[in-house]
Structure 1
Amino acid sequence: MSLMLKMAKPLLSAVLQIAVLLMGLSWILHTGAQAMNYQWQWQRVPDYLFFFEDGRWYSAELIDGLLVTLKLTLISGIATLILALCTALLRLSDSKVGRFLSFIYIEVIRNTPLLVQIYLLYFVFGPYLGIDRFSTAVLALALFQGAYTAEVIRSGLLAVDKGQFEACRTLGLSRVNAYRYIILPQVIKKTLPSLTNEAISLVKNTSIVSVMAIFDLTTEGRNIVSDTAMPFEIWFTVAAIYLLITLSLSGLAAWLEQRTRKGH
């Protein structure tokens, strides 16, 4: 019983702090709206999430934009992991050319803004390569996030004991099987919190591709605001949706980390 109380106290404290923060934020918004003579229209927000027509429910603009954001995140995330793993392996390889190219890629990407990279890919390289806007967005996000994720994976590879590599060679495992069954599971376990941060950053960075007229969640929110003049309600709703996605990723990562600690 005492153990349950000890566990409940931090949770209760966190809930109270969040409640106080929300109450303070609500008071600030209410006061600011009164000073601006702004009329809240929260009752109209559900119309931009779902609508009912001909006996069926349909997704509205914000949900359609959310689906585009999730699709963009998923495809970019897979491409990011592949690119990051290849880059990290090149950084640790015996090839001088491979180390040099991976170093240049990481330094160039990490030291230039994502928005500039998107413009270059969209207006310069995209038309030359003949790729559409969505593919350009995936490429831009994967290149940008891959440079950061590569360093995370490289640190995880360096943290694996060298004896593990020697044991794989002693057992006669091929290089691919050694990484697949022995090395990479340890790397993921060691770098899971950092990889989660990169995934969350990827979700947030998808909002920047709205400059390419991709109808993601941010673009749909901006279009609705321009049509309805409801900036507060729409942008708070968009922010809440992004927050829900990132909190879900954090919760999933925490669950996976707990399972790895238990040896699953």
Structure 2
Amino acid sequence: MNTEPTPAVEDIEIQLLLEALALRYHYDFRHYARASIKRRLRQAREQLEFSTFSAMQDALLHNEGMVGRLLDYLTVQVSEMFRDPSYFKALREKVIPHLRTYPSLKIWIAGCSHGEEVYSFAIMLLEEGLLDRTMIYATDINPAALDVAKSGVYPLDRIASFTRNHQQAGGRTSLADYYATAYGRAVFDKKLREKVVFSDHSLVSDEVFTECQLVSCRNVMIYFDRPLQDRAVGLFRESLTRRGFLGLGSKETLRFSDHADAFTEFVREEKIYQRSDA
């Protein structure tokens, strides 16, 4: 007898698993793009050695240690410092001149993952003389990822690509000025973290928590369905000051958003938008 679940049964199991995750632990992935979630859950089921999603759901409900392991599969933690250098170069050359006009700055990095983008912003702002008057809010839903971000420690074999990106992004100094090496790891200067607040925040269920001049949320909304994308953009709209800036990932757009009229394209090719006066 074939014991493999039919697609219909598998879809039901996945829906129930996501419901359990939301109701038991308040991590809501029910409005993430289903094809992506299904692919990650299948990988988790295989590597965690569960025969069915129902068995995984049972373990999730009765073993609190499961939620952290499952989050590592459901949240994407792939990034690098100064990822897409042209984005950071556009920020440096076209957005920062506007940010200089503010006596103090608040920047929200939503979906900060392991913190590579956080340190990229901190270094860029330091080089531009703005870090002292800036507060960076770095948020993610994965506590384990936030712990890595707070540590500022990365494998040494990643530094070559970080350094290359930094220079291509218009870096004014050597990246080596900002980290020390020990035991095969690069430890970034704790002074870069003094102006950073790391916090657990969900674009699915949480609300706006600060007013800021710049929001950077890159390669996060591509995993959301359309209603959740609209919710996220609505949060960014509410969070931004008048004429504030929003940066998205290279494959993301506001074109079909319910909030598109609230923004104008500022650097079109780098998906940098500005909140309009309206």
Q: TM-score, normalised by structure 2?
A: 0.20
Q: Which of 1 and 2 has higher RCO (CA within 8 Å, sep 6+)?
A: 1
Larger Rg: 1
Q: TM-score, normalised by structure 1?
A: 0.21
